[in-house]
Structure 1
């Protein structure tokens, strides 16, 4: 797979993990873990499905004992064997009548590695570990060229895909609520400062008008005048730092600069 494909896969993995984590709540909350997203994540991992009793287990072969994730609401990962996990999670009547086994059934702290969010992070890292994310300037140029071609042809999905790739490379995030503008896909660098949020540089892509703009300056969430300027820039009433395919050139150069500083 190309670097671009691997980076898109990483973004997909991160998004799935975020979905699962967002769905997890306290034990008494009644929230149900997003099993579909977790299933997709597990399918991309090195963990292998194994059915034991009524349990859906996902096993990572490592040694005599395995890391075993139980696919349920808790998402516990055990450092044990499938048989031992079944004893603790789904004991038979005979096992429950055995005093030595009851001790294990009632206390699994000796074999549980983690649960819930921490387990999702382990699976997420396992998925990403198999990706080759090394790149050079040619890879970055390709992303910029693809983005520019999508913009010129009015292919919004392609533009957003290229912007997502640059966002991943530069650590940009989707616009916080204070900076969101309807019909615009907005990304940028975020810095939290005391009670304010600093956003910028800002990339604005109007999906309706296929207009791409970049604002170089950082904008505080407390600065209403600059936020108004951002809105006017998005609508074309104010001049952006770069517009059109020049935005992809600026993003490319930002990545090059980050490569040089490493």
Structure 2
């Protein structure tokens, strides 16, 4: 009896918090058929927002994948002073508001800061351009690849890697032939999580992008801008596109989730 009551409570909670809002967006989007949905997502502004989103998310995923693998190997395979501090810093993006991240990036890389001024003096604008948006997205996605790989490395141990080195394999060869195949599923899981997080990021990107239409506007910013300008069809269509991407990412994480004993 208690099990059934708890199940009903959970289903009702999910119904009103998740299922109904998403279903309502879908119903509003296709209320007049698929034509307006296609038209809304094929405008110049919408296509540009898709392009900016993919560029920012792509760079963020690549950078976080490289950092995540290196940091995971460092945490799981080595002991060094400050290891606990590094471990804690990696989780910092989970505790800090993305808006605070955006403000901090402006203070460091803004035009009137020493670092930002140095870059702009050499023709590289960071804030209110793609590099700043990439930095903001990298920050909010920082822990995802690391936290996907570290438990797998700790569970596997380093016996196989030591055996490979004993047989004469170098560091890169050991990583490519022994370590990488062992963490492939966990790495894929972390990459998909990072991609999903990057595609849906709003707060930090909104602060550092300047929200310039057709220049620094991601899909999440496009949704807000179109809704504020009473273009609800474009807003709902873009929101549904983001929801579909999120569901696809969720399905991918289920397929790539490391299984016990793998």
Fold-level similarity (TM above 0.5) = no
The higher-RCO structure (CA 8 Å, 6+ apart) is: 2
Larger proportion of helix: 2
Bigger strand fraction: 1
